[in-house]
Amino acid sequence: MPDPKESLAWDGNREIISSGNDRIQKPMKQARIASMPFEKLHECYVNKAVRKGRKAEEVDRIVCWLTGYRPQTLQAHLCRGSDVETFLREAPAMNPARFLIKGIVCGVRVEAVQDPFMQTIRYLDKLVDELAKGKTMESILRKP
């Protein structure tokens, strides 16, 4: 059982366990996000966008831009219940312009994330965050 004095944090790459003045850093397990149904993650993105006056179709456009999925294939994955790992692994063509996505989301600099899987998740987070902040689709969907 964890010590109640310990606090947990996550910096995007590793779990940080603090116990008093001692800090232990260990790689963050991807199992939680990787095994999550993509539909749940997508729903979170859509809810965030809609709360800020944007549309679900805009979220879908962002996801398709990043992954190379067609809208029909995206919907098929959502209906099928694909987990996040499968959804990203089967992506037809990750957009080469994704490396132009820079900045901080959830306290993590997206371009500094070392793990490609987690970096892709952070790219999605960043793009949806920009959508929710009112940026235009033209500025969100980077062009080389």
Give residue-wise pLDDT tens across range 10-52: 444 444 434 444 444 434 456 689 999 999 999 999 999 999 9
Rounded CA separation 132/112 (Å): 23
Q: What is the mean pLDDT of residues 78-87?
A: 96
pLDDT of 1 higher than 70: no
pLDDT of 8 higher than 50: no
- Domains defined along the chain, listed by start: 31-140 (1.10.8.290)
* Cβ pair 100, 18 in contact under 8 A: no
Q: What percent of the residues of the chain are helix, what percent strand, and what percent coil, each to the nearest 5?
A: 50, 15, 30
Residue 5's pLDDT is: 39
**Amino acid, single-letter form, for residue 3:** D
Residue 48: phi and psi, rounded to 5, are -60, -45
For the packed helices 56-67 and 71-80, what is the interaxial angle rounded to 10 degrees?
100
Residue 85's pLDDT is: 95
Rounded CA separation 71/73 (Å): 5
pTM: 0.79
Residue 19's pLDDT is: 41
